[in-house]
Structure 1
Amino acid sequence: MGEPSTWYSRPAAKRWRTTAPGSGLDFHRSLPGHVPTPLVELPSLATELRVGRVLLKDESSRLGLPAFKILGASWAVCRALCLRSGEDPAGMTLSRLAALVRAGSGSTPQSVLVTATDGNHGRAIARMARLLGVEARIHVPAGLGIAALEGIRGEGARLVEEEAVYDDVVARAAASVEGSESDVLIQDTAWEGYTQVPQWIVDGYTTLFREIDDALEARGTGPDLLACPVGVGSLAQSLVEHYRSRPGPGQGPVLLGVEPDSAACLTRSLQAGAPVTVDTSAPTLMAGLNCGTVSSLGWPLFRAGMDAAVGVTEADCRRAVRDLEALGQDAGPCGASALAGTRNALAETSRRRELGITEDSVVVLVNTEGRAANPLV
């Protein structure tokens, strides 16, 4: 497998605590097709990794989409449209929200949902627009895969293809809504002056981790290590907020962030002790993780509460996709990176000891997407 070129660890992070995040679970339950996604046990990987159990949280079919993003997108759209209409989001359902949008509010023009995306977030926003009967405008960077583009178009959204890297596309999408009375920006990264919507997205992802806890509790155990893919960091922020806010004595589980070697903005930032922007012009199989700057909203939590972060190579990722496929699991490159990163993190005895991982440990891999979201090429 080879030595990973990108590695960070700080075991003291598991002792840090923060306040509990918000939750969009009640709203999620009103969405068509809502059910908890599977948590699948993979004994052969437990044997390989020399741990007690390995379980895969399978987000390859979340609410009819091939990725987890709809959890954050739907809750942020709900909160943003409720705020725009002066409505209380407590107890809001999809049908009530759609009726609210159709009714309008006097002189206020009908909303247009706008975002920048490297794939799954944009499709989730487009799906919410379709469910609510409003328009969506999705800005995408150069080099986004055909499957991702077709998925967004298939939701009926207007696609704006930019000849730019992801970070620049985010800036262009934000600039495009300035002065508009109809455009509502639903972006999953934060910057100065834009933190409310990204936090709602993070809160929406809490549903995923609550499902993991419920499934493990039913099996009489809890997680010792959770491996989570990282792009700009919204899902990873939700991971940290959820597991570093749980009550009770003792230390929390090890939280491992996984990134492409070529776009390891979180790992490099943790190593430097301050946010670092990395060049993401090189393509990667893990297109949804090809982000150059970690979310400013998440950064303080990562610095305080993330135990470890690791970069993975294209070869490591490709192997993980194939190995999971052989085990009957539908994992695209971003989702499979959780396995690739865990392999790298646990490859050395010194790292295992540092993280407190033993032959009895329970490892959870967050498979954020299926192959339909980002086919392996």
Structure 2
Amino acid sequence: MSSIQAAHWYANPAARVWRATPPGSALQFHRTIAGYTPTQLTELPSLAHELSVGRVFLKDESNRMGLPAFKILGASWATCRAVSRWLGLDPQAATLPVLADSLAKVLTNPHDVTLVTATDGNHGRAVARMASLLGVSVRIYIPEGVSKSATEAIADEGAELISLDSSYDEVVAIASESTTSHPLDFLIQDTSWEGYVDVPQWIIDGYTTLFAEIDESLDTLGLTPDLVACPVGVGSLAQAMVDHYRSGATRPRLLSVEPVTAACVATSLLAGEITSVEIEAPTIMAGLNCGTPSTIGWPSLLNGLDAAISVDDQESRAAVADLAALGQDAGPCGAASLAGVRAALADPARRDALGLDTTSVIVLVSTEGLAANPLDNR
């Protein structure tokens, strides 16, 4: 167990030559969900001037199918895959109405099915939303440190909430144990461990829709990204980013950003192996407050990330405020991307390591809106 002492920086000069296995695509399924539309990719010229690069874009996940974060992309696809497997359906042909109708046909009461997960907030709300859409039950386990507003938002989706005075990792284990011997409990967890890899991989496959949308939006402008930066907790979204870009023709530099108090990915990359970190204090970046990287994502993170950096709460707060001044709705986790890019590019050696110059195109992935994790509740 490693204890966080200071900010981290990691760089891998060989990352862009590594090739990943092409991930499964959930884009067609997402397009069948009522309310689906690609989220905004907004250009922010003032940030390009500040960072001395060509163009900066923000991928805004503050409203993804009516939820204030991107997590519904993974939760919806993983739920589709898990329920389809149980029903014996082809997930590539499945839609939400097909799944709901099929459950109603085989069960006297569809609420006998329960979706289960542990969460810092956004993932749990997304799983709860999927349960509501399917007409099934949902049970959500919550660790200490989750804001009151995030907890209330999950409850408003109709979820049974179980709040525990425990760390995120401990709560994940408790949620998993709760499904033992309950065949109609489906664990939809966004981190993996030995013996539990299918659902986390489906969640990651669902996240790749976000990056496919970025490519489509930039392509209309005749652009490709030179750097894509995203926040990381256990590393699932970062794995989706790596797998998407390291299996396609576009090969931007890829940067992960996490809290200095919970920098499990950067710490592990620096150690060359998965390393748990002791979380000594909560962070306003609550969705990133994770102590151990996902094992399923580790090979992609180790081989395909160009760089990893950690930032503190003050840097995240400043990024939230600056994006708000530009009319962008970003919570502390989402704004971490800007905070991380600022910290990286402020150092000439790190800028060189990322291969950036005055013509470079940067994409900042903002994973949540402020409603998902309000600063005034922290």
Give the RMSD, CA atoms, in angstroms. Answer: 1.3
Equivalent residue letter for 2:285:
M
- Asked if structure 2 preserves the Cα contact closer than 8 Å seen for 1:345 and 1:351, the reply is yes
Could you tell me whether the CA contact under 8 Å between 2:242 and 2:305 is conserved in 1? yes
Moved more, 119-128 or 106-115: 106-115
Question: 1:263 corresponds to which residue?
Answer: 262
SS in 1 for 2:228: strand
- Alpha-carbon distance, 1:235 to partner: 0.6
Aligned CA distance change for structure 1 residues 272 and 189 (closer, same or farther; 3 Å): same
Counterpart residue number, 2:115: 113
Superposed CA deviations along residues 303-361 of structure 1, whole A, max 9, x for unmatched, are: 11111000001110000000000000000000000000000111111111121111100
What is the letter of the counterpart of residue 277 of structure 1? S
Segment of structure 1 superposing worse, 274-283 or 47-56: 274-283
Is the partner of 2:371 in helix, strand or coil? coil
> TM (normalized to structure 1)?
0.96
- The answer to whether the 8 A contact 2:262-2:291 is kept is yes
> Match of 1:297, SS?
coil
**Partner residue of 2:65?**
63
Deviations 1:220-254 (A, max 9, x none): 01000000100111111000000000037xxx211
What amino acid sits opposite 1:157 in the alignment? A
Is the Cα contact below 8 Å between 2:115 and 2:186 reproduced in 1? yes
Change (3 A) 1:98 1:5: same
Q: Would you say the 8 A contact 1:228–1:258 is kept in 2?
A: yes
TM-superposed deviation, 1:154: 0.3
Secondary structure at 1:372's aligned position in 2? helix
Q: Which amino acid aligns with 1:290?
A: N
In structure 2, what is the equivalent of residue 174 of structure 1? 176
Q: Is the 8 A contact 1:16 1:305 kept in 2?
A: yes
Which residue of 4, 11, 14 corresponds with 2:13? 11
Whole-Å separation in 2 of the counterparts to 1:342 and 1:372: 23
Q: In structure 2, how many angstroms separate the alpha carbons of the residues matched to 1:31 and 1:50? A: 40
Bigger shift: residues 27-36 or 121-130: 27-36
Aligned to 1:47: 49
Q: Which residue of 2 aligns with 1:374?
A: 373
Confirm or deny: 8 A CA contact 1:257 1:306 kept in the other structure. Answer: yes
Identity, % of aligned positions:
59
**Separation (CA, whole Å) in 2 of partners of 1:104 and 1:169:** 32
Gaps of 5+ in 1: none
Name the structure 1 match of 2:3.
none
1:162 maps to a residue whose letter is L
What are the within-5 Å matches in structure 2 for residues 70-219 of structure 1?
70-104=72-106, 110-219=112-221
CA contact (8 A) 1:142 1:163 kept: yes
Contact 2:128 2:154 in 1 (8 A): yes
Query: Mapping of 1:327-342 within 5 angstroms?
Result: 327-342=326-341
Aligned counterpart, 2:26 = 24
The amino acid of 2:75's aligned partner reads: A
The answer for the alignment partner of 1:319 in structure 2 is 318
Q: Distance in 1 between matches of 2:178 and 2:345?
A: 44
SS in 1 for 2:230: strand
Q: CA deviation at 1:281?
A: 4.3
Q: In the aligned structure 2, how far is the partner of 1:195 from the partner of 1:362?
A: 34
Q: Partner of 2:91: helix, strand, or coil?
A: coil
CA contact (8 A) 2:61 2:68 kept: yes
SS at match of 2:309: strand
How far does residue 208 in structure 1 lie from its aligned partner after superposition? 0.4
Number of equivalences: 371
Deviation at 1:104, TM superposition (A): 2.0
- Where 2:365 maps in the other structure, the secondary structure is strand
Q: Which residue of 2 aligns with 1:291?
A: 290
Contact in 1 for aligned 2:111/2:135 (Cα 8 Å): no
